[in-house]
Structure 1
Amino acid sequence: MIAVPAMTAAVVLGLDVGGSSVKYRLASADDSDRMPNALAEGSVTTPADDPVQGLAAIARQVTGENRLVAVTVAVPGLVDETSGTVRRSANLPALDGLPLGPDLAARLGVPVSVINDGRAAAVAEARWGAGAGANDVFTLALGTGIAGSHIVAGCVVDGAHGVAGELGHIVVEPDGMACRCGQKGCLETVVGAPALRRAWHAAGGSGSPKHLLAAYETGDERAQEVVERGAGALADAIVTLLALVDPGVIVIGGGLASAPHRIVERTTALVAERATFHHVPRILPARLGKWAGAVGTAAEARALSRRVPA
């Protein structure tokens, strides 16, 4: 059920599209650079069929009687931000090649930008979350997939082709499970939410990754083995990141890294054990939790509204 604010104002909307849910944040289209406070916030099931129609319906419901002036959508995958086209999304193949920005803008009649979900979360955490005050922040979001982004001096380091930060597709188990990206043994196939669920069920557990982490808290040996494998794979990927990027701070967020932060804590300990010549920076749990992407998209939508006045 979507809660709609009982007011009429110029608003912007951020949509963080994940493999299972869409998190949204409706915010005022003011001129402030503060963190965009939520007029409405929540999550709904990711549209199963037509993504443009489904996201347009969500936007209309969330906006209510307010005047929508800009929308930003974050998606898991490679995005051409100039054209608003999703080049490839391993976790949402229905988006592959879709001109999501132009199509959604045509449906809603307002400017729409499309960005990578790791970038959205990273911007929010670097500006207002655990990375606030640091000059160099690399943020990871652990969920259905694993998104990453590097923020230096307040700017996203996208790389020459806009695809930097895809730590979820670093191979950590060369003979491992096939990944939707076409490789085998990517980090996502070990510590992404679906991967943890599969491993937990294979070990004799039941339920979601939340049940896995709850069992881990009680000392369940099966849960400890699954979490240890996942944290070990993540630690290996982070050690690689230290060698290649040398970030000043690493922030780990997303639903799988929420309190009590056991995956973050175990990963941090393993990074310290496995690092050799590397400088090990502070590795912090995200402050904004699973809502970082929604905050980041709302902030980007606010910036978009300034660039393209409604």
Structure 2
Amino acid sequence: MTLAAAPLLLGVDVGGTKVQVALARPDGTVVDRRTGPTRAADGAEQVVARAADLARQLLTARAGRLVAVGAVCPGVPGPDGVLLAPTIDGWEDLRFADALRQRLGRLVGPGVPVAVGNDVKAGAASEAASGALVGSRCGVYLNLGTGLALAVVVDGVVLCGAHGVAGEIAYQLVAPGTPGARDGRAPLEEAVSGRVLDDRAAAAAGRRTTGVEVLLGDDVALRESLEPALALLDLALVNACCLLDPDVVVVAGGLVRAGDVLLPRLRRALERGVPVPPVVVPAHRPYDAPLHGALLLAERALGEHAPAVLEEPA
């Protein structure tokens, strides 16, 4: 038997706003990538189909053979559905790995592993492997994207918790007695997230704009319109750091585009409220750490299946 000429890993990141896919060599070196809109309103099956179409475009353009797949999404994907599923119709009942394998069809040969995981934890794993969390004894990966979540990394290992939902701060209560997870609500995320900041910014401006544009702009009144949401973010992060005692907070997601405003603010909040304040830095890959985390999932899955998957089929 001979080794395949060009074994490739596929990484898939299904986010709240966009779907990203990438091909990489087995050592993790990215060779090509594509991005498209999530279009969550189309439903779970169409979102997975869109991700598979992007992957097919990549594989068609590249000579080689798929040897492992890693895919990540919001929530906790499992064999019978997705716990804490995003607001995509049908996602809670989606068997993510099976659906993706089916949509990829013959591109995923017999024995090729398809590993799935949470997007924020995958992003944290990527930064712990080769990013801003390298060397951290206890680090927090804060994702400020369409939604809101964090992950905790201790000595290079991402903490999942007993049920895989560690770090899901979207579900923190913002006031006693308010509806929470049991009611299908994510109170903190409903009060502060990229989507919420965009909505607040547009409502205050009376026109189309984004939270990032307002934060980077010079209109003081517009920036003040975001203050109630940002104050809750400060509070949540301070409380998390008091509990965890991290040495670093790594910030990722689309709101990092306003990092010149947001990061100093978070530093000030932590300096005021945490006994030993952590360093606050942007992620090395602020906008695509989960995609690299998906490739890391594929790489690790390949390691568990090699050499059988790397050998050329007879």
TM-score range relative to shorter protein = 0.7 to 0.9
Secondary structure of the structure 1 residue equivalent to 2:20: strand
Corresponding residue to 1:68 among 66, 69, 89:
66
Report how far residue 236 of structure 1 moved.
0.5
Report if the CA contact (8 A) 1:75-1:117 is conserved.
Answer: yes
Matched residues in 2 for 1:73 and 1:84: separation?
16
* Structure 2 residue 48 is matched with structure 1 residue 46: no
Q: CA RMSD of the aligned region, Å?
A: 2.5
Larger Rg: 2
**Do the aligned partners of residues 158 and 298 (structure 1) sit closer, same or farther apart at CA in structure 2, a change above 3 Å counting?**
same
Corresponding residue to 1:57 among 44, 53, 56:
53
Partner of 1:238: 237
Partner of 1:33: none
**Do the aligned partners of residues 187 and 253 (structure 1) sit closer, same or farther apart at CA in structure 2, a change above 3 Å counting?**
same
Corresponding residue to 1:29 among 7, 10, 26:
26
Report how far residue 180 of structure 1 moved.
8.3
Report how far residue 206 of structure 1 moved.
3.0
Corresponding residue to 2:146 among 144, 147, 157:
144
Letter in 1 for 2:83: R
Secondary structure of the structure 1 residue equivalent to 2:132: coil
Report how far residue 298 of structure 1 moved.
0.9
Partner of 1:281: 278
Report how far residue 259 of structure 1 moved.
5.2
* Structure 2 counterparts to residues 220-299 of structure 1, below 5 A: 220-258=219-257, 260-273=259-272, 275=273, 278-299=275-296
Partner of 1:193: 194
Unpaired stretches in structure 2, ≥5 consecutive residues = 310-314
Unpaired stretches in structure 1, ≥5 consecutive residues = 1-7, 31-35
Letter in 2 for 1:63: L
Report how far residue 205 of structure 1 moved.
4.5
**Do the aligned partners of residues 96 and 268 (structure 1) sit closer, same or farther apart at CA in structure 2, a change above 3 Å counting?**
same
Matched residues in 1 for 2:121 and 2:266: separation?
22
Secondary structure of the structure 2 residue equivalent to 1:151: strand
**Do the aligned partners of residues 180 and 91 (structure 1) sit closer, same or farther apart at CA in structure 2, a change above 3 Å counting?**
farther
Q: Percent identity?
A: 31
Give TM-score, length-normalised by structure 2.
Answer: 0.83
Matched residues in 1 for 2:128 and 2:302: separation?
22
* Greater fraction of residues in helix: 2
**Do the aligned partners of residues 260 and 241 (structure 1) sit closer, same or farther apart at CA in structure 2, a change above 3 Å counting?**
closer
